[in-house]
């Protein structure tokens, strides 16, 4: 067993309020330079919606991620060796500026310097950051879906809704929405690295952070196509690829990532995972996409297991990293409690950003059953009464395995109910206590 360490993140979607503080602080720190105007290493999407860049989940269009051949081997759909020069020079599988957006700024200086006696209200006009010209209309931007959140229109354009065949209902009662913050997943089996013909993309051995060597990058942009999450960007000023660095200079001095530190909802849990590097390829090539979650979880190692601790030492993982893995909430959320799921496991990159799915109680159903709006004991038995359709969450987080998402939601309800009873000094329901693996007393 070859033990390696990986920095991973778990985001609790119930707690995201869509304030975009994470995106803005990340932008201030990392992409506030010429050539990076349109880049959002961290973005927050309103779901359902088309996301940023538009329809990034449509792998038929963008040719991202891995394909599994008949012999069970994986190969990246994009890039790889330099033999396909023609396709590299005219790589058609990349989002254009219309899919990201044309970044703009407002002429605030003109607004503030308007003469006092101006008769009409001054207007701050928008100016393109790419061309420097005025923009008469602005028709697209990151999280443009926000204003339409939950509408039939966003649902009709959402690639996940189309894939799971979600029926569009137009009544306001049946609408749903939630926020999905996204960064690079610092995958265990990254296609961006496999797609790069120059060997510029690499995964750091000490902590698993995926980076671009700016000296080696030749601007082929196969990583942009190859990443199924569309989390590599091309800097048109330097001619090089750029991406989320998981704030490694901050991590190296013991600080959290900017997005974790500034998150208003406190929903980002950052920590260390230990995994068996010898089994990564086998896990990623698991035949049935719905088994990928278990395969991915299976290669995570229990940092308290003496055999794992010994193997970690033999593999050169410093003791401090093993201690960090033991103290990390990430392993517990993924493994012990099993409430965190990877985004689109079917892309086979083994993403290391995990999500606790949102609970979305239909409050009137709960009150009709005799509970108050916070009564998760009732929800525990009625997860089918959630506002967000199970099939939609399953299309996003479990390759369509609705039973898995239902299990996670039930467990979350049970945990809340259990803790609520304790706080209210009531006797916890033994059935629910059993469901969360706790004693009924």
CB of 7 to ligand SF4, least distance (A): 12
Question: Cβ closer to ligand SF4: 243 or 376?
Answer: 243
Query: Which segments of 13-163 are extended strands (E)?
Result: 43-47, 66-68, 74-76, 104-106, 126-128
**Helix runs in 145-221, H state only:** 152-157, 159-164, 191-195
| Cβ 123 vs Cβ 111: under 8 Å | yes
Question: Cβ closer to ligand SF4: 186 or 376?
Answer: 186
3-class SS of residue 328: coil
CB of 153 to ligand SF4, least distance (A): 22
Query: Which segments of 204-325 are extended strands (E)?
Result: 210-212, 232-235, 240-243, 268-276, 300-301
CB of 184 to ligand SF4, least distance (A): 3
CB of 185 to ligand SF4, least distance (A): 4
Report how far apart, in Å, the C-alpha atoms of 193 and of each of 236, 329, 390 are. Answer: 20, 28, 33
Question: Cβ closer to ligand SF4: 190 or 389?
Answer: 190
| Cβ 14 vs Cβ 356: under 8 Å | yes
Question: Cβ closer to ligand SF4: 13 or 378?
Answer: 13
Tell me, what DSSP letter sits at residue 89? H
Question: Cβ closer to ligand SF4: 227 or 432?
Answer: 227
The CA distance from 84 to 81, in Å, is 7
Question: Cβ closer to ligand SF4: 358 or 371?
Answer: 358
CB of 41 to ligand SF4, least distance (A): 10
Question: Cβ closer to ligand SF4: 227 or 284?
Answer: 227
Q: Is the peptide bond before 167 cis (omega within 30 degrees of 0)?
A: no
Question: Cβ closer to ligand SF4: 44 or 322?
Answer: 44
Question: Cβ closer to ligand SF4: 262 or 290?
Answer: 262
Binding site for ligand SF4 (CB under 6 A): 16-22, 44, 179, 181, 184-187, 190-192, 210, 227, 229, 231-232, 243, 263-265, 267, 349
- Residues with Cβ within 8 Å of residue 423, at least 6 apart in sequence: none
Which of 392, 401, 410, 278 minimizes the C-alpha distance to 339?
Answer: 410
CB of 349 to ligand SF4, least distance (A): 5
CB of 317 to ligand SF4, least distance (A): 21
Which of 3, 338, 349 minimizes the C-alpha distance to 184?
Answer: 349
3-class SS of residue 94: coil
The CA distance from 284 to 188, in Å, is 9
CB atoms within 10 A of CB 57: 22
The CA distance from 249 to 267, in Å, is 22
CB of 188 to ligand SF4, least distance (A): 9
Give the pairing type, strands 3-12 and 353-356.
parallel
Is the torsion defined by CA of 142, 148, 151, 156 positive or negative? negative
Question: Cβ closer to ligand SF4: 289 or 421?
Answer: 289
CB of 311 to ligand SF4, least distance (A): 25
CB of 338 to ligand SF4, least distance (A): 22
């Amino acid at each position: 067993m070859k033990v390696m360490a990986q920095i991973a993140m778990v985001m609790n979607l119930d707690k995201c309020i869509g304030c975009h503080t994470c995106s803005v602080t990340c932008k201030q720190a990392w992409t506030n330079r010429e050539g990076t105007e349109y880049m959002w290493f961290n973005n927050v999407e309103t779901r359902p919606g088309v996301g940023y860049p538009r329809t990034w989940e449509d792998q038929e269009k963008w040719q991202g991620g891995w394909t599994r051949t008949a012999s069970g081997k994986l190969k990246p759909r994009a890039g790889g060796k330099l033999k396909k020069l023609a396709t590299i020079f005219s790589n058609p599988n990349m989002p254009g500026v219309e899919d990201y957006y044309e970044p703009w700024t407002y002429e605030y200086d003109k607004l503030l310097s308007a003469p006092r006696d101006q008769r009409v209200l001054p207007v701050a006009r928008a100016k393109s950051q790419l061309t420097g010209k005025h923009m008469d209309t602005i028709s697209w931007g990151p999280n443009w879906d926000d204003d339409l959140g939950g509408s039939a229109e966003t649902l009709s354009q959402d690639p996940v809704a189309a894939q799971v065949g979600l029926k569009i209902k137009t009544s306001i009662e049946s609408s749903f929405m939630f926020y999905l913050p996204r960064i690079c997943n610092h995958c265990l089996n990254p296609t961006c690295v496999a797609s790069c013909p120059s060997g510029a993309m690499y995964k750091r051995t000490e902590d698993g952070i995926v980076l671009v060597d700016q000296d080696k990058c030749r601007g082929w942009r196969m990583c942009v196509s190859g990443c199924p999450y569309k989390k590599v960007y091309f800097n048109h000023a330097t001619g090089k690829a750029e991406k989320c660095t998981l704030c490694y200079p901050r991590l190296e001095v013991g600080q959290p990532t900017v997005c974790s530190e500034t998150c208003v909802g406190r929903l980002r849990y950052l920590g260390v995972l230990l995994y068996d590097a010898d089994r990564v390829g086998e896990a990623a090539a698991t035949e049935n996409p719905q088994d990928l979650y278990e395969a991915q979880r299976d290669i995570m190692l229990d940092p308290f297991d003496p055999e794992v601790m010994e193997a970690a030492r033999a593999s050169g993982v410093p003791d401090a990293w093993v201690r960090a893995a033991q103290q990390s909430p990430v392993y517990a959320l993924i493994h012990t409690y099993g409430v965190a799921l990877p985004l689109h496991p079917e892309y086979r990159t083994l993403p290391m950003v995990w999500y606790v799915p949102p609970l979305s109680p239909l409050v009137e159903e709960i009150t009709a059953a005799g509970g108050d709006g916070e009564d998760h004991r009732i929800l525990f038995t009625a997860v089918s009464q959630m506002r967000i359709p199970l099939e939609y969450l399953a299309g996003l987080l479990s390759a369509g395995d609705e039973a898995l998402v239902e299990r996670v939601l039930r467990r979350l309800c049970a945990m809340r109910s259990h803790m609520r009873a304790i706080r209210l000094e009531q006797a916890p329901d033994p059935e629910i206590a059993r469901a969360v693996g706790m004693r009924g007393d």
